[in-house]
Structure 1
Amino acid sequence: MDDDIAQLYAQRGVPVRTRFSMALIRLHHLGPMSVKELAEQIDVTHSAMSQTVTAMRGDGLVESSPGSDARTRTVSLTDRGRALVPFLEDEWRATERAWAELETELPYPLTRVVDDIAEALQRRSFLDRITQHLDERGEGHGPEQEA
């Protein structure tokens, strides 16, 4: 689906990577913020957002300036980035409607699957599941264990 959204952007002449969309929308609505705050808004790591901001800055969509202390940078939209937000918001709403339409064609809602997976992982983590399967087969001994 992400590839299809990227294809839509290309067809419409929107020079944005799909991972930029929500960051640009949040900056438009909430105003300038630090990389850390933006990462929290999008629910990604600081490192991932730092890389995204660098790429967006390279594309002329955002600019950054010194933050409240020497360790922070404040990110804000450029006019070019701001001009893309109306399309990105329209695409976001259209994507949500397309997702809802897709769900009606399935015998169960995809959101139910996501909720069921989250509930199962609360009972037993994915790490525990992987570890059990490695241990059952005698696999997964790291280099320090093989010596």
Structure 2
Amino acid sequence: MAQPPDPTEQNRWRPLRQLLDAMDADIARLYTERGITGVRPRFVAPLIRLGRRGGMTIRQLADSLEVTHSAMSQTVAALRRDGLVSTAAGADARTREVTLTERARELLPFLEAEWRATEQVVAELDAEIPYALTRVVQDLQAALQRRSFHDRIADRIGDA
């Protein structure tokens, strides 16, 4: 009996992931061109947030950026390795307060300028295409509020 085709050969999300990866790579290339090392696009939001609000615990930073504590903990570890933040014991033994290093503070004006420019370019791209990506996201969110992604997948899997 023939084996069914590899299900991973069909991937409707791959083009979107590749697009986002390419856009992030272009931003990273801009950093390299400007002589900024050790900064990845995913670092910029936490760095700007810390620069604007001051020291925060990992939980506070995660909540303010609407990401998981685990994801932010991994990001903070990478930021520490790259000399962009320091951590110290928080108000209790279970928390760590994250603060920017001097190096990160020096980079903030450029990072904020890049963030603003990126948002302007995304708005231009949204206006340039017939159906804006921001509208697609809103429409998908609305559809998933009506019926969750989990429930839709679970129904397709059945008892498999």
Q: Same fold (TM over 0.5)?
A: yes
Matched, 1:32 2:55: yes
Please give the secondary structure, in 2, of the residue aligned with 1:64.
Answer: strand
Between the two proteins, the alignment pairs up a number of residues equal to 137
* Whole-Å separation in 1 of the counterparts to 2:55 and 2:42: 18
Matched, 1:7 2:24: no
* Whole-Å separation in 1 of the counterparts to 2:26 and 2:147: 34
Task: Give the superposition deviation at 1:73.
Answer: 0.6
Please give the secondary structure, in 2, of the residue aligned with 1:74.
Answer: strand
Letter in 1 for 2:98: V
2:152 pairs with 121, 129, 136, which one? 129
Letter in 2 for 1:91: E
* Whole-Å separation in 2 of the counterparts to 1:68 and 1:129: 43
Alpha-carbon RMSD across the aligned residues, in angstroms, is 1.1
Q: How does 1:1-147 map to 2 (within 5 A)?
A: 1-15=23-37, 16-135=39-158, 141=160
Task: Give the superposition deviation at 1:12.
Answer: 1.6
- What's the TM-score, normalizing by structure 2? 0.82
Task: Give the superposition deviation at 1:2.
Answer: 1.6
Corresponding residue of 2:3: none
* Whole-Å separation in 2 of the counterparts to 1:54 and 1:44: 15
* Whole-Å separation in 1 of the counterparts to 2:45 and 2:127: 26
Runs of 4+ in 1 over 2 A off after TM superposition: none
Task: Give the superposition deviation at 1:61.
Answer: 0.6
Task: Give the superposition deviation at 1:66.
Answer: 0.7
- What's the TM-score, normalizing by structure 1? 0.89
* Whole-Å separation in 2 of the counterparts to 1:42 and 1:12: 26
Superposed CA offset, 1:23-73 (max 9, x none): 010101100110110111111111111111111111111101110000001
Please give the secondary structure, in 2, of the residue aligned with 1:76.
Answer: strand
Task: Give the superposition deviation at 1:133.
Answer: 1.9
Task: Give the superposition deviation at 1:13.
Answer: 1.7
